[in-house]
Structure 1
Amino acid sequence: MRHTVKAASIVSVAALALSACGGSDSTEESSDSGSDVKACLAYDVGGRGDQSFNDSAAKGLDQAKDELGVDTEEVEASQGENDAAREDRLNQLVDAGCTNVIGVGYIYAKAIGGAAEANPDVNFAIIDDASADSEGDNVAQLVFAEHEGSFLVGAAAALKSKSGKVGFIGGTDVPLINKFEAGFKAGAKAVDPKIDIQTKYLAADGSGFADPAKGKTAAEGMYDKGADVIYHAAGGSGAGVFEAAKANKKSAIGVDSDQAKTAEKNVQDVIITSMVKNVNVAVFDYIKASTEGEALAGLNEFDLKDGGVSYSTTGGKIDDITDKLDTYKKEIIDGKITVPSK
């Protein structure tokens, strides 16, 4: 049975974002309550250091360790492994004393479902999956309205494009990444219905999220065909997109975290904005709820309205269009614009 919970133990995601900035009082008050919780992350391919999705999750884990006083542990996925190997990894975390196990990415769906059934006294969470495979009374499905955030950066791409040609690069062609593409296209076409949008997916499996060389080649091909702004939803492969943008004196849009801050310094200036997905807030909130004796379960969605997704303004490259983007944002929140998810 699915328990639909929206910000169950939270006033709002935005409020948690503020707590992430740190407050010594809240840190001191919660440190004791987290003493019995051991929170563990099983990363997607790329792991900590991907400058994107996994790093955002790691940020939430680090915050929980620092502010809540919980013990933590981390493991990383390997290329080409199967569901049985992933479930083994989760069970190893349970054997290591983890009270809360978080699978970072939809690739853990079946593994989370199996491990949760086998360990009913352990709390599990999965990021980016709401399928029946990962459902369970002791499972929290942490999902985001990526299409809404992608609409805004799609609009930004069209507003900043001089050629009338933009691009989208996804790690792999699956429903989750299709949400990024659908939102991006809708946003770009809201600005310019005739805009030319090129699309490329890098691989048929998770390797598409950890192959900067493929990302660079795909981006170079789009820039060669006239695109001047490319949005990637390809995890660590996005580093290659940024390299191509730098070499071709074009622009790029980051994903998941504010990549104008997290990418390599020599390419940060090509990133005009990023679709920020607050995975760190979801991870922190999930752990915090357990330290307060209110473990989350069921479907928990973080959308544009409550700050689950947003866009970044680092570097000032879209300062001239933020009024327009905020107008679109308000229209989405108010229900005047319905953003497609596929």
Structure 2
Amino acid sequence: MKLSPFSLTIAAFAAAGACASASAADPKLGIVYDAGGKFDKSFNQSAFEGASRFKKETNINFIEVQASSDTQAEQMLRGLARKNLDLIASIGFAQTQAVQKVAKEFPKVHFVLIDGVAQGANVNSVTFKEEEGSYLVGVAAAMASKSKKLGFVGGIDIPLIRAFACGYEQGAKATYPKVEVIQNMVGTTAAAWNDPAKGGELARSQFERGVDVVFAVAGGSGLGTLQTAKEKGKLGIGVDSNQNHLYPGSILTSMVKRVDNAIYDSFMQMKNGTWKAGVTAKGLKEGGVDWALDENNRKLITPEIEKRVLGARKDIIDGKVKVVDYRAANHCPV
């Protein structure tokens, strides 16, 4: 019999004893993934990898569950909190309201929210300067593009995704002022993060309009965008995790968001007794975002592209280049 996601989640709760920590003194930890699932090869998977690294180093286990909707996220969080966990990690901005509500109900449980800001004396909100990493891949895209027409496929039209798009466009236009950036969004609900067919369809439409490099910022839907880029002989740009290996020679680079480090650090801080509530913002300088260069895209990145991107990276870290955050300005300056 095939179990529903909710049934699997209940099973995970029931198995909490099997997931117990190595000793009574070890912290009890949990993760709630969003609708994309922990094997989305992107955002959630990065969180899973960070937690797994922590487990490998400390032999301290963690309970993991997946929420298929915002409403279910609240139920999952509350279920874990009732087990008196020490720290629960919530993956994704969609869980912001759920974290804020449940954290208030369980003041002795600590929460770390990735990609959103929730209020509470027992909440640490980790945000990223996506605009900075996106600026770098925008520079690379503008230099690699022959048509000087770039594409962007986002999940949902929200400020977070606009921050990616705006940083991307700023980097591209700082390199070639006349470059054109065509943007499309997959949908308006949580399903938009897990619709690779639509992600591929939007990319195909952009390619027909002359785009030859596309940046996919749509969770699981972005996998369809990258696959279509490969099929059409175009270039894709991955996001969150290093996705260069998915289609070697076809993915120009990836805008890496170190969600893995954020989870690893939070778990380790809880273990060491140094965890603190508040808001933590991670950009290039803090090692929170970057671009990816490895054996899978080495042949695509010319010495000229690498030099230009590394120069921009240094200028941002040194404060010589200020990348505008769409969320702060409420508009994109380019």
Q: Scaled by the length of structure 2, what TM-score is found?
A: 0.87
After superposing the two structures, state which structure 1 stretch, 249-258 or 87-96, moved more: 87-96
Q: CA deviation at 1:260?
A: 1.2
Is it true that 1:173 corresponds to 2:157 in the alignment? yes
What is the CA–CA distance in structure 1 between the aligned matches of 2:24 and 2:273, rounded to whole Å? 10
Q: CA deviation at 1:35?
A: 4.6
**Are the aligned partners of 2:84 and 2:109 in contact in 1 as well (CA < 8 Å)?**
no
**Are the aligned partners of 1:286 and 1:296 in contact in 2 as well (CA < 8 Å)?**
no
Amino acid in the other structure paired with 1:189: K
- What per-residue deviation string (whole Å, max 9, x for no partner) do you get for residues 206-256 of structure 1? 211111001000000001111000001111111101121111100000000
Q: Which has the higher contact order (CA 8 A, sep 6+)?
A: 1
**Are the aligned partners of 1:105 and 1:129 in contact in 2 as well (CA < 8 Å)?**
yes
**Are the aligned partners of 1:35 and 1:71 in contact in 2 as well (CA < 8 Å)?**
no
Aligned to 2:67: 77
Amino acid in the other structure paired with 2:170: A
- After the TM superposition, which residues 89-104 of structure 1 pair with which residues of structure 2 at under 5 Å, given as runs? 89-104=76-91
Is it true that 1:307 corresponds to 2:287 in the alignment? yes
Is it true that 1:290 corresponds to 2:280 in the alignment? no
What is the CA–CA distance in structure 1 between the aligned matches of 2:50 and 2:189, rounded to whole Å? 26
Q: Scaled by the length of structure 1, what TM-score is found?
A: 0.85
Q: CA deviation at 1:144?
A: 0.6
Structure 2 unaligned runs (5+)?
A: 1-20, 327-334
Structure 1 unaligned runs (5+)?
A: 1-30
- What per-residue deviation string (whole Å, max 9, x for no partner) do you get for residues 114-165 of structure 1? 11101111110100012xxx21000000111100000000010000000110
Match of 1:318 among 301, 326, 329: 301
- After the TM superposition, which residues 190-339 of structure 1 pair with which residues of structure 2 at under 5 Å, given as runs? 190-261=174-245, 263=246, 267-314=247-294, 315=296, 316=298, 317-320=300-303, 321-339=305-323
Is it true that 1:37 corresponds to 2:27 in the alignment? yes
- CA 1:87 to 1:102, structure 2 compared with 1: closer, same or farther past 3 Å? same
Percent identity, aligned pairs only, is: 38
**Are the aligned partners of 2:283 and 2:289 in contact in 1 as well (CA < 8 Å)?**
yes
The root-mean-square deviation of aligned C-alpha atoms, in Å, is 1.5
Amino acid in the other structure paired with 2:130: E
Is it true that 1:52 corresponds to 2:28 in the alignment? no
Match of 2:172 among 170, 188, 193: 188
Is it true that 1:62 corresponds to 2:62 in the alignment? no
Q: CA deviation at 1:32?
A: 7.6
- What per-residue deviation string (whole Å, max 9, x for no partner) do you get for residues 43-75 of structure 1? 011111100000000001101111122220111
SS at match of 1:125: strand
Q: CA deviation at 1:86?
A: 1.9
Q: CA deviation at 1:319?
A: 4.1
Aligned to 2:332: none
Amino acid in the other structure paired with 1:294: T
**Are the aligned partners of 1:123 and 1:295 in contact in 2 as well (CA < 8 Å)?**
no
SS at match of 1:269: coil
What is the CA–CA distance in structure 2 between the aligned matches of 1:177 and 1:44, rounded to whole Å? 16
SS at match of 1:142: strand
What is the CA–CA distance in structure 1 between the aligned matches of 2:138 and 2:24, rounded to whole Å? 41
Q: How many residues align?
A: 302
SS at match of 2:108: coil
Is it true that 1:150 corresponds to 2:134 in the alignment? yes
Aligned to 1:129: 116
